[in-house]
Amino acid sequence: MVSHLFFYQLVLLGLLWLCVMLHYVWPNECARGDQRPSKPLPPRKRSSDPKPFPGLTRKPPCVACEQAHAHRPQPPGCPPPRIVPMRGRPRQVETSCHFCPHANCDYRGWLGLGNITSNGHPSGGPWRQLHCTSCGGYFQETHGTPLHGTRVVPEKLVWAVGALAEGLGIHAVARVFEIDPNTVLAWLVEVADHAVAFSQYFLHDVRVTQVQLDELFALLSAVKAGEVSDAEAIQRLSRSPHWVWAAIDPITKLLLTIDVGDRTLAMAQRVVHQVVQVLAPGCVPLFLTDGFKEYTTALLTHYGQWVQPARWRAQGPMPKPRWVPLPGLLYAQVVKTVRRRRLVDVKHRIVFGTLDAVQQVLAVHGWQINTAFIERVNLTIRQHVAAVGRRVSTLCKHEAGLRQQLALYQVYYNFCLPHAGLRQALPQPEPTHGTGSARQGRPQTPAMAAGLTDHVWTLREVLLFRVPPWPQPVGV
Ligand SMILES: [Zn+2]
C-alpha cells in the first residue's frame, strides 16, 4: 500500500514538472497563463447542424419484410383475350366490375374482359345472378362480399356496420338493430376481412411527400369495463400495453395504415413496413413523428443503403461497409414535454437530412414542423372506434377485435367520409334544388384527394365491392 502511494506521488510530481517545463518551452499555444492541461477541456459548443449519421455495420432486420414476399397477390400471368359478344341484343347491365370466381376458369379473377353476363334475379331475390360465358359457371353478384349468403335484409347489415364505423359499440349496435351481439361480432369479423382486402387492393403506389406517424394509447375495453381489477389491469397493461399506430399523409389526409400493438421496435418496423407497401416504389417522403426513438431504426431499415466508407489512409485495412439512410430521406421528430398533463415544451429534432431540406418540403404548404394532423386523426379514431374511445361495453377485449374495428375504420375514413379540409371549390357555384344557397364546393374524401378513386363511396358500395384477387392492369 505504502509503495503504491509513494509511486503515485512520484508520478504526480513528474507530471507537474512536465507541465511547468512545457509552459516555458512551448512556443505559442501554451503561452497563455490560463492553460491548465490537467483540467478537462470545456465542452465544445454544439453546432446547430446535426452530425452526419455514422451508419450501422448491420442492416436492422424487419420481420414483416421477411414474411411479406410470400403473400403479396400476383396475377398468374397475362390476362386472357377479351370476349366480344357476336349475337343477341346488346348487354344492358354493366358487369365490368365483376370477375369469374371459379377456380378452373381461365378468366378467373380478371375484370372487364366481356366474359360476364347478367341473368336477372333468381326467384325474386335481391341479388342478380351472373354468368361466365367462358366456363359456363353461375354466381351471385355478392360473391365474396360480406353480404353473400346472409339471410338478413341487406340494409340492416349495412346500417349496423355503419353504426360500428361511426363508433357505436357492439352491444349498442345489437340493441339498436334488435339483433344478438354475437351476430354483430360475426358481421364485424366478416366486414373487417373484406376491409383489409379492400384497402390492400386500392392503397398501393401512392405518391406522397410527407408522412406523419403516431402511436395512440388504447386502453382495451375489458380493463375499462371493470371486468378485471385495477391491480390486474395495471399488471396486464404494463406487460402488454396496446397502442394504436397510425400513419397519414397530411396533404391528402389519407390514412396509409392503422394497426394495434405494443410500443416496441418490432411494431415500429411493422408500421413503417406497411407504409412502404402503400407507397410507390422509390417514393421517399419526409417523415414526421414524436420522439419515440425506435422510429429511427425502423425508418433506417426500409430507407437505407450500403456504402463503402473511404480509407483513412492510403494503406491500411478497408473499413467495413456501413448501412446509412438514403440520401433523400428526411426525418424530423417533434419532442413534446408534458408535465402534469400540461404541455411545457416542444422541441424539433432533425434526425436525417438537414433543417433546410425539411423546411423546403413543408414550405410548399406553408407549414412548420408539426405532427398536428396525425394528432387530429387520433382524436377522430377515438370517436369512431368504440374499443379505443371512452365507451366501454364492446366485445373487443382482444387485440384482434380492436384490429377489426380499425380495419373497418380505415376504409370508412379513406373512402366514405368526405374531409372538410379537402373540399374542392367549384369554378362556378351550382344552384341547389331546394331553397338553400348555391353549392360552393364538392365533397372530397382522402382517397379521392390521393387519386385512388373518383367518387365518395357509400358503405353499401364498399360492402358490395367484389375485391379482385390480384391487381388489375391499368386501363382495362
Ligand atoms: Zn368463368
Q: What is the DSSP string of 323-382?
A: EEE-TT-EEEEEEEEEETTEEEEEEEEEEES-HHHHHHHHHTTT--S--HHHHHHHHHHH
Calculate the CA 440 to chain-centre distance.
32
Give dist(CA 142, CA 132) in Å, integer: 15
Distances in Å between the Cα of 84 and the Cα atoms of 116, 139, 301 are: 11, 21, 49
- Rounded to 5 degrees, φ, ψ at 30 are -90, 5
Indicate the helix (H) or strand (E) that contains 452. none
User: How far is the centre of ligand 1, averaged over its atoms, from the C-alpha of 232 (Å)?
Assistant: 55
Separation of CA 237 and ligand 1 centre (Å): 51
Mapped onto helix, strand or coil, the DSSP state of residue 196 is helix
For residue 139, the CA-to-ligand 1 centroid distance in Å is 10
Chain Cα centroid distance, residue 3:
68
Centre of ligand 1 to C-alpha 138, Å, is 8
476 C-alpha vs ligand 1 centroid, how far in Å?
Answer: 18
State the DSSP code for 279. Answer: B
CA 69 to ligand 1 centroid distance, Å: 28
Beta bridge partners of 349: 333
Instruction: Using the mean position of ligand 1's atoms as its centre, give its distance from the Cα of residue 425 in Å.
Output: 44
Going from the Cα of 136 to the center of ligand 1, the distance in angstroms, rounded, reads 6
- C-alpha 143 – ligand 1 centre gap (Å): 13
Q: Which residues have CB atoms below 5 A from the ion given as ligand 1?
A: 100, 102, 105, 107, 132, 134-135
* CA distances, 338 to each of 40, 342, 379 (Å): 35, 5, 18
Q: How much distance in Å is there from the Cα of 85 to the middle of ligand 1? A: 15
Which of 145, 270, 148, 284 minimizes the C-alpha distance to 208?
284
Provide the pLDDT for residue 456: 94
Distance 131 CA to ligand 1 centre (A): 8
Q: Please report, for residues 77, 415, 423, the alpha-carbon distance to residue 452 in angstroms, rounded to integers and kept in the order given.
A: 24, 9, 16
Distance 102 CA to ligand 1 centre (A): 6
**Measured in angstroms, how far is the CA atom of residue 415 from the centroid of ligand 1?**
30
At 101, list the grid cell. Answer: 370466381
Ligand 1 centroid to 367 CA: how many Å?
52
Please give the distance, rounded to the nearest whole angstrom, from the Cα atom of residue 105 to the centre of ligand 1: 4
* C-alpha of residue 129 to centroid of ligand 1, in Å: 13
Instruction: Name the DSSP letter for residue 395.
Output: S
**Ligand 1 center from residue 77 Cα (angstroms):** 16
Q: From the CA of 432, how far away is ligand 1's center (Å)? A: 45
Whether 206 contacts 200, CB under 8 Å: no
Position of cell 394509447? 217
d(CA 346, CA 173): 41
Torsion angle defined by CA atoms of residues 243, 394, 199 and 107, in that order, rounded to the nearest 10 degrees: 140
Ligand 1 centroid from CA 89, angstroms: 21
| CA distance to 108, 255, 427, 428, 434, per residue, from 442 (Å) | 37, 21, 10, 11, 17
Q: How far is the CA of 118 from the centre of ligand 1 (A)?
A: 13
Q: Model pTM greater than 0.85?
A: no
On the 0-12 / 13-18 / 19+ scale of CB atoms within 10 A, 194 is buried
Identify any residues that bridge with 425 across adjacent strands, giving them in sequence order.
441
The Å distance, Cα 149 to ligand 1 centre, comes to 20
Q: Say if CB 414 and CB 447 are below 8 A apart.
A: yes
- Rounded to whole angstroms, the Cα distance separating 250 from 247 reads 9
How much distance in Å is there from the Cα of 98 to the middle of ligand 1? 11
Ligand 1 centre from 120 Cα, in Å?
A: 18
Give the model's pLDDT for residue 467: 93
- Quick one: pLDDT at residue 393? 38
pLDDT by residue for the chain (476 residues), tens only, comes to: 556 777 788 877 787 777 667 666 565 443 444 444 455 555 555 555 556 677 777 777 777 777 766 556 778 888 888 888 776 666 777 888 899 999 889 889 899 888 888 888 888 888 889 999 889 999 988 999 998 888 888 899 999 999 988 888 888 888 999 998 888 888 888 999 999 999 999 998 899 999 998 887 665 544 444 444 445 544 444 444 577 889 999 899 999 999 888 888 888 999 999 999 899 988 899 999 988 888 999 998 888 888 887 777 777 778 888 888 888 899 999 887 777 767 778 888 888 888 888 888 888 888 888 777 777 777 777 777 766 654 443 434 455 567 888 899 999 999 999 988 888 777 777 777 777 777 777 889 999 999 999 999 999 999 999 999 888 876 54
